[in-house]
Structure 1
Amino acid sequence: MDTVSLQVTGTLKAGDGHNSQALTVEALDSTSPSLPRKGTGFVAKIYDPLYFGDDDGYLDPFRCMDKYYTHEANAYPALREFQGRDGPTYHGSYTPRVVFVDLAHALFDRRRDDPAALTLNCFLGDYISPPLRWNEAKFKASPFDDWVDWDWDPWLTAEFAHTVTSITPEMREQWADI
């Protein structure tokens, strides 16, 4: 199996409102001479169901992304004769190694919404901004702390900066001790 390690160097089209994420990347290393050599820059396209634009929830984002991905990946071999001349050069289709964690019906320190639950109100049903909920001190105390090998707080702050205005003084008081 051929593998290539990439480093993202920029974005061309990414985030909400884009079904596919187009990133500029640089090859760090590869296991085959047919793959891009170290230092080669190119565009990587990622199909992530997280960014699928169906706000009404009628469509299965995983099926839709799979359809878009397989159609595009199958088009490149059919257009092989035009690659590098009248179109982009196709270096193959790769699947990242992904770990899924299914936490089922976890409430993450919020109260249950049933009569038997305690009356503690942890803002059940309200959006709690990740910078408030998941700062590094709280995250490092979790059993998942060894999963994160990057500087967590700056990433969290930048990624969810648009949500900070939703934090109320009551939320800050409640979540400060959790």
Structure 2
Amino acid sequence: MDCVGHDSDRDERQQFGPVDRCLRHPPLAGMRGTSSVDLEIRDTIRVGNNHNAQLVLVDVLRSDPGLEWLGGERRLAAKIYDPLYFDDDDGYLNPFLCVDKHYTHEAHAYAELQDLQGRLVPKYYGSYSLDLCVGSKLRHVRLIIIEFIPGVAMRDANPACYSQPARQHIMKAVVDFETTLYTRNILHTDLHPRNIILVSGSDSGVPERLVFIDFGGAIFGRTWDNSNLFPGTYISPLLRWHVACNPTLHFCDWVNWDWQSWLEAEYKHTASTVTEEMRKVYLPDYLLAPPQLTTN
């Protein structure tokens, strides 16, 4: 889904206020259910302008038959996809297309990762519609409910507080998760420390587990243009996480060792899965060639 705005979008932005534009552009139509749930916001996690979604802690006050199990969950987070607060980059992006994309892709990703819920990704409790009163009109907003993960975002953790073995444990978990997604033909596109929660369960200095969040930008294919390369086939980290691909760009503060030597030792057992065809696709000659020095 192309989220870039067009001239007509920018013209509309000049003519109408944000709320009026939201009324003119309701979310994508879907199959609305018959059950409802009443939520109370307990606390805020990430709210306000310039966020792709509003994230709040909620309590379940009441739920219709069929949703009673929601009331038994103590820590829930509601992720609300409201285009009113979306940063459209001064009109360059169409906030309504962007929000529709993030909502639909995230909901679909959780469905595809059902077996990983509660371990590597939060538990997913479904998608919902929220009706907001605007005068005599209703404004419709989509949201999902997921498990709240107590922990610290990797972005907010201090790498200096972790030993090198602990950092290597963390980075291996990152590589393994991304590889699992890729094997299922899902490209995360935003694998960043802000989207990785470190959950501590002991005093060993090593997180009990890592939980990965934010799949609004997920691509269901193996490339940005949705062309599938070796669909469903395991691709060794020896290829996609090779140092020539600059895989640790967002994790440079965490990696204080020779990445390539560590990668080759850690994933040596996968070398037999690498074919010459795969190597040509993921590690073409121009990536492996030494940089050319020029003189003035």
Category of TM-score, reference length = shorter chain = 0.5 to 0.7
RMSD: 2.2
Are the aligned partners of 1:20 and 1:48 in contact in 2 as well (CA < 8 Å)?
yes
Amino acid at match of 1:93: S
Tell me the distance in 2 between the aligned counterparts of 1:51 and 1:68: 14
Amino acid at match of 1:4: V
Shift, 1:23, TM fit = 0.4
- Normalised by the length of structure 2, the TM-score is 0.32
> Which stretch shows the higher mean deviation, 56-65 or 89-98?
56-65
Q: Which residue of structure 2 lines up, in the alignment, with residue 81 of structure 1?
A: 115
Deviations 1:16-44, CA, capped at 9 Å, x for gaps? 12111110000001112454116733111
Work out which of the residue numbers 19, 28, 51 in structure 1 matches 2:61.
28
Tell me the distance in 1 between the aligned counterparts of 2:62 and 2:47: 24
What fraction of aligned residue pairs are identical, expressed as a percent? 45
2:99 is the counterpart of 1:65: yes
Amino acid at match of 2:125: H
Tell me the distance in 2 between the aligned counterparts of 1:57 and 1:67: 17
Q: Which residue of structure 2 lines up, in the alignment, with residue 96 of structure 1?
A: 130
- Matches of residues 1-178 of structure 1 in structure 2 within 5 Å? 1-31=34-64, 32-33=66-67, 35-37=69-71, 40-100=74-134
Mark the runs of 5 or more structure 2 residues left unpaired by the alignment.
1-33, 138-296
Shift, 1:91, TM fit = 0.4
- Which structure exhibits the higher relative contact order, with contacts defined as CA atoms closer than 8 Å and separated by 6 or more residues? 2
| Alpha-carbon distance change, 64 to 19 in structure 1, aligned in 2, over 3 angstroms | same
- Normalised by the length of structure 1, the TM-score is 0.52
Tell me the distance in 1 between the aligned counterparts of 2:35 and 2:136: 30
Amino acid at match of 1:62: F
Q: Which has the higher helix share?
A: 2
Query: Secondary structure, in 3 states, of the residue corresponding to 1:16?
Result: coil
Mark the runs of 5 or more structure 1 residues left unpaired by the alignment.
104-178
| Alpha-carbon distance change, 102 to 52 in structure 1, aligned in 2, over 3 angstroms | farther
Deviations 1:89-146, CA, capped at 9 Å, x for gaps? 100000012345599xxxxxxxxxxxxxxxxxxxxxxxxxxxxxxxxxxxxxxxxxxx
Tell me the distance in 2 between the aligned counterparts of 1:36 and 1:77: 17
Tell me the distance in 1 between the aligned counterparts of 2:129 and 2:67: 19
Amino acid at match of 2:76: F
State the aligned residue count. 103
